[in-house]
Structures are given as structure tokens and as C-alpha cells.
Amino acid sequence: MMEYNNLSSLLRRLYGAKIRKFCIDGGFTCPNRDGTCGVGGCIFCGERGAGEHIQKKGVAAQMAGALESVKPGEKYIAYFQNFTGTYAPVAQLKEKYDAALCDDRIVALTVGTRPDCIDEGVAALLASYKARTDVWIELGLQTESDLTAERINRGYKREAFERAMQILSRHGVRAVVHLMAGLPGEDRAQLLKTVDYVNRFPLFGVKLHSTYVSRDTELCRMYERGEYTPLTFEEYVEDAIAVLTHLRPDLWIHRLTGDSPGDLLVAPLWVKKKDPVLIEIRRRMAERSLSQGCFYEGEAYPMIERP
Ligand code: SF4
């Protein structure tokens, strides 16, 4: 029995190949850092913007470098990961996305962004790539709670997510939502409220990870003052199982671990190793005969197979 709908199994089936991700730094900033809607950014966000390991180079140069190391038979997703990947005029976005789609082996374009940086122009641009590649957008929601959003300085209310989902749906652009367990002031009950909330939207999938403390962030200062305690391995595994079992059964799970920020990581150190987390989640779910959506009580949706 599959404990949950793992994106990598879907991609392998769709493309008949191993799919790797090229994480691209599009040279974007973020409206929550430059003063447009806030300064300082989300309290957990490092100076390099949720893609701490990425190096700064032009998109074409990054793609050329990445393609040098490809293996025969592999295919790739071009992923604009750090900061806000739709935060630029549409013409500039088009240049960057075009530069990323430079090779037939790139089978999907994925862009990480904030819901308040989705508008009709951006959605139309993303939709225009659907004829040549799969496309999906990743929205950093983290929580449905506007109270927590204020606490983490997210810089937008959940209405912005609802607006973005309407625009993306109108343009037929798939969306993946990012959620975080262990946010300051949140417990498992609040995490499950977020799951109930996202279950209402026509999403393609979900990414979940545990909140971690990166150096030189506001969360780090809270941690040092004793005002924030990250989840333990044990707590996160149980949170992830709670999320999976309450999620709609048609959603694809894109990730259950974060990309630890290397030497910028302060705590918790267990997030450095992804495999033990994934193994333990699957082991416990199998042992308890649990599967994705087994506690979901809402409407059944058709499976979205094609991104
Ligand atoms: S929206 Fe993303 S890039 Fe901007 S501050 Fe928050 S985590 Fe960082």
C-alpha cells in the first residue's frame, strides 16, 4: 500500500525517467523585504530567501552549468526557488523563464512565489508555457491563521491566497501550497485547521516541512532568547502523519522535508538528514494501516494526474 501520493512516483510514470530538479536563482527579491508590503521578511527567512544554498548567476549561466552534469535518460524540472519568483514585470519574468526552458530535457517549469504576487498578467504568462512544458506555481502559505501570519511577519492575509487561487484557476495554472509545521505559537490542532483550509482549494499538491532556525533571522533571535522551541524529530513525524491522514486523497505530496540551509542552520539539527524522517513517517503509517486522506471527511475530488 502507498502511504501517500508521492510526486516522484507520478513524475516517473508521466515521463518514464528519473526527474531531477534544477534550483534556479532568478535574481528576484521579495516585497516583504524591500518595503512594498513589509521589511525584514518572514521571521524564518534567511538573507538568501528560502533557497539558501543557491549561488547568484544569470539564469542562462546556471542552466548551462546544471546541464553539464546531466546523466543519460534523466529529465529535469526548472525550479525558481528563492525569494519571490513572480516579483518582476511580466516581460522580465518571460526572459527568465524562457532562459530556463533551454533544453528539451526540461519537462516542467516551477515557480515559487507569494500569493500576493500573482496577478492576471503573471498567470497568463505561466499559462502560455503549457503548450511546451508542464507548469505549476508554488505558493508559500505556511498557515491559514492570520494571527500566526502576523506573528511570522508573512505580510499578507489569507484572502490573498484565495484571490491568487481564483486567478490561477481561471488560467488553468496548477498550484502547490507550502505548509510549515512547528510555526511559533502553533500546535498540531492549528496545523490541522490549515489542512482543512487547503483541502477546499483545487490544488495540485502540498509541500510540508518543519520550521527550522536559520542564522541571522528574527526566528534565530527568538530561539536564542528562549522564545521559540523547534519541533523534535518525534513531534514532526507525528505532525506529518496527522497532515497526510487529513489531507484530501487526490493531492500530490511534493515534499515532506525542507532543504536545510547548510552551515546557516542553527536548529533543529535533525532536519539535516531527510531520509530518516521519510522512512519513519512511512514506517509508522504502514504499521498503523494509515494512508493519505484516511481521516478526510469532505468531498472527493478527481485525481489531477497531469501537472
Ligand atoms: S515571502 Fe518568501 S522570500 Fe519573502 S520573506 Fe517570506 S520566506 Fe522570504
- pLDDT tens readout for residues 171-201: 999 999 999 999 999 999 999 999 999 999 9
CA–CA separation, 100 and 132 (whole Å): 13
Evaluate: CB of 84 within 6 angstroms of ligand 1.
yes
Question: Predicted confidence band at 1 (pLDDT cuts at 50, 70, 90)?
Answer: low
Residues 279, 39: contact at Cβ < 8 Å? no
Mutate to test the pocket of ligand 1, among 28, 29, 37, 42 (most ligand atoms within 8 A of CB): 42
CA–CA distance, 222 with 213 (Å, rounded to integer): 9
Q: Is 32 in the pocket of ligand 1 (CB under 6 A)?
A: yes
DSSP 12-58: HHHHSS-EEEEEE------TTTBSSS-BS-STT--TT-S-TTPPP--
Nearest residue (by CA) to ligand 1, atom 5, is: 41
Q: Is 11 in the pocket of ligand 1 (CB under 6 A)?
A: no
Q: Does the C-beta of 26 come closer than 6 Å to ligand 1?
A: no
In tens, the pLDDT along 239-257 reads 999 999 999 999 999 999 9
Side-chain half-sphere exposure of 220, counting CA atoms within 13 A: 12
SS (H, E, C) 79-132: EECCCCCCCCCHHHHHHHHHHHCCCCCEEEEEEEECHHHCCHHHHHHHHHHHHC
Compute the distance from residue 30 Cα to the ligand 1 centre, in Å: 6
Average pLDDT over residues 15-21: 90
- Which of 131, 142, 74, 62 lies closest to 102 in space, CA to CA? 62
Alpha helices in 154-294 (DSSP H): 158-170, 188-198, 218-224, 233-246, 274-287
The 8-class DSSP code of residue 76 comes to E
Instruction: Looking at the CA of residue 46, tell me the nearest atom of ligand 1.
Output: 8
pLDDT band with cut points at 50, 70 and 90 for residue 307: very low
Position 79 scores a pLDDT of: 96
To the question of pTM greater than 0.75 for the whole model, the response is yes
Q: Which of 83, 142, 156 to mutate to test the pocket of ligand 1 (most atoms within 8 A of CB)?
A: 83
Tell me the mean pLDDT in the region 120-130: 98
State the Cα angle at 194 between 193 and 197, rounded to 5°.
90
| CA 177–ligand 1 middle distance (angstroms) | 14
pLDDT confidence of residue 200? 94
Task: Give the model confidence (pLDDT) of 96-122 as tens digits.
Answer: 999 999 999 999 999 999 999 999 999
| Share of residues in the chain with pLDDT > 90 (%) | 83
Average pLDDT over residues 282-296: 97
Q: Which residue has the cell 508573512?
A: 154
| Residue 178 CB–ligand 1 contact under 6 Å | no
pLDDT digits (tens, 9 = 90+) for 58-109: 999 999 998 888 888 899 999 999 899 999 999 999 999 999 999 999 999 9
Domains and CATH numbers, the chain: 7-287 (3.20.20.70)
CB distance 83 to ligand 1 below 6 Å: yes
> Given pLDDT bands bounded at 50, 70 and 90, which one contains residue 49?
low
User: When comparing pLDDT for 18 and 159, which is higher?
Assistant: 159
